[in-house]
């Protein structure tokens, strides 16, 4: 998935989780420091993205995730599921 | 000190919200249909009373509309309508607002659903919210979070007496002065393969009506064959009468008495004599300070199982003696099925609407009276009547018995 499309998806899912408007979620926002997300909130967002795009995000990188853009990068680099 | 109901909300198979519910109740519309929430073709009973057209996003933020177990969604929706109905824009003191909601199975269907995801797709695909949502307490705490209630927040789980017990205990909290407002009632969402299948397996649900679902729930009829499983929620706003009057609230009725007992000898049904079942109702009547002769209407548990309805008839004869046959008795489960722990709360909505609008709700499908069921069951259609005092009974697995007495508030402005 192209990075821009992934960023839009991440922003949309984050806004639902945070009950915020999409304009409050910027690409450079830090998930934990600026958006105040804890491990459960991050898990909810990863879960929502995996459900919506039927994929498994590369979680090894999650501990290094800091910003919205980082998360969009993980989604962007995740291969689409092989259809059966 | 009187405890009164100043707000009601319901999400039921016969209507979402009071106007729709009330219209179906008066018209005698059945809420039973074919099961659509899962494939029930392998079961003997394939009908249920489902809440159709419930859109969680009408009542909840998108996050909760997508993730919260249905049982909690129904509860929050009913509570939101009750608070609106009570016209309380903001709590005077959130720390003195309690939530006491009854539910028998709680999030059992959700646990099953997530368990299946775990087995089929792995831990990774289970909801991260599972630890917060998979316990029964979540039903009350989601209401507390949604509406900012900071007092005691409890889910009461006592099988099919759950919401009757929750309401009785809510009244006690208010009488004791611990809180000023209680959101109380019940919610249930058991329409999933395991809970549904478990009742089917023990032969508790209606058999032989898959081709005419609306006829399946037939309390007190000779050809009744079991209950129709239902989902739904009803929540009330309870306050002390003086504070309700002080803020100019409209009063739906008074919760005047509560009784609760347990046979303590059986996993399922009440013991034959009905001693404890009788005691729950006589306790509630004494608590309300009313005599048998003063009761204008009984909203029966009336599940439509062969055992319950004959048993309950005997119990009512013992409670009311000579006047038993003069008191109208009906089973609202003939309209909206058996919502287990939420049943008592939904039936209280039916009772209070009848009280307000001047009718006794009907018992549908009572085509062939059972000789063992010989009371006045208000067959087929609602009956115009003035009801000032009503008794509502609930029985539950674990041989529990509970009863509430509600009274019209005669002095308050309507």
Does the beta-carbon distance from B124 to A16 stay under 8 Å? Answer: no
Nearest residue of B to residue A59 by CA position? B124
Query: If you write DSSP's letter for every residue of B143-161 in order, what string do you get?
Result: HHHHHT--S-EEEE-BTBT
CA distance B109 to chain A (A): 20
Q: How many domains does chain A have?
A: 1
Check pLDDT > 90 for residue B305. yes
In the residue annotation, B317 being an active-site residue is answered as no
Q: Is residue B340 domain-resident?
A: yes
Q: Domain range for residue A36?
A: 3-76
Q: Do residues B313 and B358 both lie within one domain?
A: yes
Q: How many domains does chain B have?
A: 2
Return the pLDDT at B266: 85
Q: Do residues B143 and B227 both lie within one domain?
A: yes
Note the pLDDT tens digit of each residue in A18-52.
999 999 999 999 999 999 999 899 999 999 999 99
Note the pLDDT tens digit of each residue in A51-63.
999 998 877 755 6
Q: What is the mean predicted confidence (pLDDT) over B29-34?
A: 98
Q: Do residues B315 and B360 both lie within one domain?
A: yes
- Within 8 A of A51 by CB-CB distance, chain B residues are 125
* Residue of B45, B143, B160, B373 with catalytic role: B160
Return the pLDDT at B246: 96
Check pLDDT > 60 for residue B270. yes
- Within 8 A of A48 by CB-CB distance, chain B residues are 66
B window 107-146, beta carbon within 8 A of A: 124-125, 127-129
Q: Do residues B290 and B391 both lie within one domain?
A: yes
In a mutagenesis test of the B interface, which of A13, A48, A54 is the best target, namely the one with the most B β-carbons within 10 Å? A48
**Which two structure tokens, joined as six digits, stand for B233?**
């929620």
DSSP H helices in B202-266:
241-246
Nearest residue of B to residue A51 by CA position? B125
Does any CB of chain A come closer than 8 Å to the CB of residue B410? no
Of B215, B246, B277, the residue at which a domain comes to its end is: B246
**What band does B413 get if pLDDT is binned at 50, 70 and 90?**
very low
Check pLDDT > 90 for residue A84. no
Q: Do residues B233 and B265 both lie within one domain?
A: no
Does any CB of chain A come closer than 8 Å to the CB of residue B61? yes
The CATH number that applies at residue B351 is 3.40.47.10
Q: Do residues B286 and B325 both lie within one domain?
A: yes
Q: Do residues B124 and B240 both lie within one domain?
A: yes
Nearest residue of A to residue B124 by CA position? A47
Q: Do residues B206 and B268 both lie within one domain?
A: no
Return the pLDDT at B414: 46
Q: What is the mean predicted confidence (pLDDT) over B100-117?
A: 97
Does the beta-carbon distance from B124 to A50 stay under 8 Å? Answer: yes
Note the pLDDT tens digit of each residue in B341-397.
999 999 999 999 999 999 999 999 999 999 999 999 999 999 999 999 999 999 999
Q: Is residue A40 domain-resident?
A: yes
Q: Is residue A26 domain-resident?
A: yes
Q: Domain range for residue B291?
A: 259-407
Q: Do residues B174 and B310 both lie within one domain?
A: no
**Which two structure tokens, joined as six digits, stand for B278?**
């009788």
In the residue annotation, B160 being an active-site residue is answered as yes
B263-272 contacts, C-beta under 8 A, 24 or more apart = B263/B399, B263/B400, B263/B401, B264/B399, B265/B399, B266/B398, B266/B399, B267/B397, B267/B398, B267/B399, B268/B397, B268/B399, B269/B307, B269/B308, B269/B311, B269/B399, B270/B311, B270/B395, B270/B399, B270/B401, B271/B399, B272/B311
Check pLDDT > 80 for residue B122. yes
The CATH number that applies at residue A46 is 1.10.1200.10
Does any CB of chain A come closer than 8 Å to the CB of residue B414? no
Q: Do residues B167 and B285 both lie within one domain?
A: no
A window 33-72, beta carbon within 8 A of B: 40, 43-44, 47-48, 50-51, 56
- Stated pTM of the model: 0.95
* Residue of B45, B143, B252, B338 with catalytic role: B338
Q: How far apart are CA B78 and CA B71, in angstroms?
A: 11
Note the pLDDT tens digit of each residue in B158-208.
999 999 999 999 999 999 999 999 999 999 999 999 999 999 999 999 999
Q: What is the mean predicted confidence (pLDDT) over B303-326?
A: 97
Of B206, B222, B246, the residue at which a domain comes to its end is: B246
Q: Do residues B284 and B187 both lie within one domain?
A: no
In the residue annotation, B338 being an active-site residue is answered as yes
User: Considering just the CA atoms, what is the radius of gyration of chain B in Å?
Assistant: 20
Does the beta-carbon distance from A43 to B125 stay under 8 Å? Answer: no
Return the pLDDT at B268: 85
Q: Do residues B137 and B208 both lie within one domain?
A: yes
* Residue of B45, B252, B301, B373 with catalytic role: B301
Average pLDDT over all residues of chain B:
97
Q: Is residue B252 domain-resident?
A: no
């Amino acid at each position: 998935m192209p990075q821009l499309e992934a960023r839009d998806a991440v922003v949309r899912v984050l806004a639902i989780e945070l009950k915020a408007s999409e304009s409050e979620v910027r690409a450079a926002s830090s998930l934990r420091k600026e958006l105040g997300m804890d491990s459960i909130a991050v898990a909810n967002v990863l879960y929502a993205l995996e459900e919506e795009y039927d994929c498994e995000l590369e979680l090894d990188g999650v501990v290094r995730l800091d910003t919205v853009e980082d998360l969009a990068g993980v989604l962007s680099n995740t291969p689409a599921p092989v259809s059966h | 000190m009187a405890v009164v109901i100043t707000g009601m909300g319901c999400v039921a198979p016969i209507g979402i919200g009071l106007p729709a519910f009330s219209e179906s109740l008066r018209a005698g519309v059945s809420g039973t249909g074919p099961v659509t929430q899962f494939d029930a073709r392998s079961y003997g009973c394939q009908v249920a009373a489902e809440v159709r057209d419930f859109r969680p996003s009408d009542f909840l933020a998108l996050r909760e509309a997508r993730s919260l177990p249905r049982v909690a969604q129904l509860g929050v929706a009913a509570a939101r309508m009750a608070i609106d109905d009570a016209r309380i824009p903001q709590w005077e003191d959130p720390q003195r607002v309690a939530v006491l909601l009854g539910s028998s199975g709680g999030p059992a269907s959700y646990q099953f659903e997530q368990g299946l995801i775990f087995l089929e797709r792995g831990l990774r695909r289970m909801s991260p919210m599972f630890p917060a949502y998979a316990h029964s307490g979540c039903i009350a705490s989601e209401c507390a979070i949604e509406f900012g209630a900071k007092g005691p927040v409890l889910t009461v789980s006592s099988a099919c007496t759950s919401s009757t017990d929750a309401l009785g205990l809510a009244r006690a909290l208010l009488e004791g002065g611990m809180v000023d407002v209680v959101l109380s009632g019940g919610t249930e969402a058991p329409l999933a393969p395991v809970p549904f299948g478990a009742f089917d397996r023990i032969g508790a649900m209606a058999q032989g009506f898959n081709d005419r679902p609306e006829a399946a729930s037939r309390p007190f009829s000779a050809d009744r064959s079991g209950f129709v499983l239902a989902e739904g929620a009803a929540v009330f706003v309870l306050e002390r009468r003086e504070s309700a009057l002080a803020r100019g609230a409209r009063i739906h009725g008074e919760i005047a008495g509560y009784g609760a007992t347990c046979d303590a000898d059986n996993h399922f049904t009440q013991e034959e004599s009905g001693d404890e079942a009788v005691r729950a109702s006589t306790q509630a009547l004494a608590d309300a300070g009313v005599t048998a002769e003063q009761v204008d209407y009984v909203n029966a548990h009336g599940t439509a199982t062969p055992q319950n309805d004959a048993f309950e008839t005997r119990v009512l004869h013992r409670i009311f003696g000579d006047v038993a046959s003069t008191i109208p008795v009906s089973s609202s489960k003939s309209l909206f099925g058996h919502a287990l722990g939420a049943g008592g709360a939904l039936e209280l909505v039916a009772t209070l609407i009848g009280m307000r609008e001047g009718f006794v709700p009907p018992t549908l499908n009572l085509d062939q009276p059972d000789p063992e069921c010989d009371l006045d069951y208000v067959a087929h259609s609602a009956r115009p009547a003035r009801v000032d005092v009503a008794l509502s009974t609930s029985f539950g697995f674990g041989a529990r018995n509970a009863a509430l007495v509600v009274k019209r508030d005669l002095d308050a402005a309507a």
